[in-house]
Amino acid sequence: MSKQQQSVVIGGGIVGVCCALWLQKEGHQVWLIDPAVPGESTAKWSCGQMAVSEIIPLSKPGILKRIPGWLLDRTGPLALRPAAVPAILPWFLRFVANARHSRIEAISHAMATLTREVYTDFAALLALCPDKALLGQRPVIEVFDTPHGLAAEREHLQLREQLGFRAETLDAGAIADLEPALAGKFSTGVLFPDWCAVSDTKGFIAALTEAFVQQGGVRIDTDVASLLEAQGRACGVTLRDGRTLSADHVVVAAGTGSRRFFSQLGVRVPLTAISGYQALLPEPEVAFRHSVIYADGGFCFTPMRRGLQIGGTIEFAGADAKPDFRRADIILQKARRLLPQLNVANKEFGVGHRPFLPDTKPIIDRSRRLPNVLMAFGHGQLGLTLGATTGRLIADLAAQRPTAQDITPFSAYRFMEGDRT
Residues 106-165 pLDDT 10s: 999 999 999 999 999 999 999 999 888 889 889 999 999 999 989 988 999 999 999 999
Question: How many domains are there within the chain?
Answer: 2
Same domain, 352 and 364: no
**Does residue 260 sit within a domain?**
yes
Residue 300 in 3-state DSSP?
strand
Confidence of residue 103 (pLDDT cuts 50, 70, 90): very high
Quote the mean pLDDT of the chain: 92
pTM of the model: 0.94
| 294 plus 163 within the same structural domain | yes
pLDDT digits (tens, 9 = 90+) for 6-20: 999 999 999 999 999
At 350, is the secondary structure helix, strand, or coil? strand
Assigned domain for 417 exists:
no
384 and 291 together in one domain: no
58-91 pLDDT, tens digit each: 877 666 666 666 565 666 667 777 777 788 888 8
Domain shared by 247 and 379, yes or no: yes
Q: Is residue 48 part of a domain?
A: no
Last residue within a domain, chosen from 332, 356, 380: 356
Question: Considering the domain boundaries, does residue 105 fall inside one?
Answer: no
**Residue 100 CB partners (closer than 8 Å, separation 6+):** none
Q: Concatenate the DSSP letters of all residues of 71-88 into one string.
A: HH-TTSSEEE-GGGHHHH
Whether 93 and 219 map to the same domain: the answer is no
How far apart (Å, rounded) are the C-alpha atoms in residues 214 and 160? 39
| 88 and 14 in a common domain | no
Whether residues 304 and 156 fall in one domain? yes
Least confident residue range of 15-24, 65-74, 170-179, 204-213:
65-74
Query: Alpha-carbon distance 376 to 19, whole Å?
Result: 8
Boundary of a domain, candidates 324, 340, 356: 356
- The helix/strand/coil state of 324 is coil
The answer to whether 409 touches 361, Cβ cutoff 8 Å, is: yes
- In tens, the pLDDT along 334-364 reads 999 999 999 999 999 999 889 999 999 999 9
Please compute the mean of the pLDDT values over residues 310-317 and round it to a whole number: 82
The whole domain housing 328 covers 54-100+134-197+271-356
Q: Could you tell me which of 372, 330, 368 has the C-alpha nearest to residue 349?
A: 330
CB within 8 Å of 209: residues ≥ 6 apart? 12, 17, 32, 38, 39, 219
Hey, which bits of 357-404 come out as E strands? 363-366, 373-377
Within a domain: 116: no
Q: Are residues 83 and 229 in the same domain?
A: no
Instruction: With cut-offs at 50, 70 and 90, classify the pLDDT of residue 41.
Output: confident
Residue 34 CB neighbour total at 10 angstroms? 25
Rounded Cα distance, 111 and 55, in Å: 5
Residues 14 and 355 sit within 8 Å (Cβ to Cβ):
no
Q: Is 236 contained in some domain?
A: yes
Whichever domain contains 217, its CATH number is 3.50.50.60
User: Quick count: other Cβ atoms within 10 Å of Cβ 276?
Assistant: 23
* β-bridge partners, 220: 33
